[in-house]
Structure 1
Amino acid sequence: MIYGQKVLAIIPARGGSKGVPRKNIRELAGKPLIAWTIACASSSRYIDRCIVSTDDPEIAEVSRRFGGDVPFIRPADLAQDDTPGIDPVLHAIREVSGYDIIVLLQPTSPLRSAADIDGCLECLVNSGASSCVSVTTVDKSPFWMYNVNENGTMKPLLDAEDRNVSRQKLPAVYVLNGAVYVSHREHLEEHTGFLQPETKAYIMPRERSVDIDTFFDFAFAEMQLKLI
């Protein structure tokens, strides 16, 4: 609970991952990927309840084994390749009522900390915003990026008066890192999404912003965990 508001966290984990089969329960540094997020949520100062939303009985069993709360099995039609990411969240908050703030924690971000979750919640409440999401800096500035036309010529992705500037003089640019999304429940239900013009950014360091989509990401995350 934060300032009298009850907090529900949701970990979405479908069984049909394509890039890395069975990704959510694949072992990372000695335990299933999803277990890292379950443990992180349990260490938050503000989360009152954290649930796992899955369509997969094996993911449900593994989640429970590592302390996860799986109050329902998600319908198959909400676990397809083309299912919008927000749909399982909206389904979960209809199934589990009585909470004021919703936190989305994707299991593919195992390096986030409980302090990141709590910092994002504090940013939401202290700023009076309707939603807050975690971001990190990009390693390559879009001011140096180009589209390549059909004839092989290059067109700058962004307009800029001078491209011959040092990296230090370029404006900071941020990208969603997928680690933490928070919103007031009513706002989320009304707008069916965390990202709105007034959404606040919670900045995380790049070393905790690994988003696992590939086997290389698994290897990189495991290396990072050994350094922590």
Structure 2
Amino acid sequence: MDNLIHCVIPARKGSKRLKGKNTRLFLDKPLISWTIEEAMKSKNIGSITVSTDDEAVMEIANNYGISILQRPQELAADDSTTSDVVLHFISGMMERGDAVSHIMLLQPTSPLRTAKHIEEAIDYYFFNIDKIDSLISVSRSEHPPWWNKKIGENGLLTDAFPYDRSKFNKSQDFPRTYIVNGAIYIAKVDELIIHKGFETGRILPYIMERQCSIDIDNEFDLLLAEFIAKA
């Protein structure tokens, strides 16, 4: 396999929790610009394509001189998945006869993910290429998930995940767990097609710092990310 990665940045127009989030100003520029600029710094990314149905996003992408893939309406609905968008991009590449062996997904909602993270993830991916199918970025869980509670039908709290309290009563007693942070996804195209997504059979974790792992989904996330960026 060659070491050329094609990067897709998905940016649909509709967003119920944070309207127009991809073009919302994050500090001094549109949110999506942060991802585009960091991707452009990477020497291992062969092409960058923004998949969108948003004319405002198209204008921003044009200003950077990067490719735009007009997203069909059926892939811009609330129930459309990011994997569907990536598969749509791959299908177009193959129809044109373009070689595509590796694909990277960078979501514009992770503005604190830097070119350094992207380069490290790509290097880590290719260093382990013979024993993995994909790479997904994660951050360490703040608390053991076994401490989560749920409210039963009787209205009372109960454990979300039963565990042996005699063995596990301090946070350090539990195994270390990680949360997918949505910042970086890389996969072999053949495996992505088979699994219809980046969660393949052999996934390599790329661990990121919590302060760089904010995935902006609402107003609070945006304010928190801006606070961290300024700090």
> TM bucket by the smaller chain?
over 0.9
Alignment of 1:27-106 (within 5 A): 27-65=25-63, 67=64, 69-96=66-93, 97-106=98-107
**How far off is 1:173 after superposition?**
1.1
CA distance in 1, matches of 2:173, 2:43: 38
Alignment of 1:1-228 (within 5 A): 4-65=2-63, 67=64, 69-96=66-93, 97-127=98-128, 128=130, 129-162=132-165, 165-227=169-231
For these two proteins, the number of residue pairs brought into alignment is 224
What is the identity percentage for the equivalent residue pairs of Structure 1 and Structure 2? 37
What amino acid maps onto 1:46 in structure 2?
Answer: N
| Paired residue secondary structure (1:45) | coil
CA RMSD of aligned residues (A): 1.6
| Paired residue secondary structure (2:68) | coil
Q: TM-score, normalised by structure 2?
A: 0.91
Once the two structures are superposed, residues 65-107 of structure 1 have per-residue CA deviations (whole angstroms, 9 ceiling, x without a partner) of 2x15233311111110011221111111222332221000000
Structure 1, 101-110 or 142-151: larger mean CA deviation = 142-151
**How far off is 1:142 after superposition?**
0.9
CA distance in 2, matches of 1:4, 1:100: 7
Structure 1 runs not aligned, ≥5 long: none
Answer yes or no: is the 8 Å Cα contact 2:104–2:185 preserved in 1: yes
**How far off is 1:168 after superposition?**
3.0
**How far off is 1:119 after superposition?**
2.1
Q: Give structure 1 regions of 4+ aligned residues with deviation exceeding 4 angstroms.
A: none
Answer yes or no: is the 8 Å Cα contact 1:13–1:54 preserved in 2: yes
Q: TM-score, normalised by structure 1?
A: 0.92
**How far off is 1:5 after superposition?**
2.0
Once the two structures are superposed, residues 143-170 of structure 1 have per-residue CA deviations (whole angstroms, 9 ceiling, x without a partner) of 2112210102332122321276222333
Structure 2 runs not aligned, ≥5 long: none
What amino acid maps onto 1:39 in structure 2?
Answer: E
Answer yes or no: is the 8 Å Cα contact 2:133–2:203 preserved in 1: yes
| Paired residue secondary structure (1:83) | coil
| Paired residue secondary structure (1:210) | coil
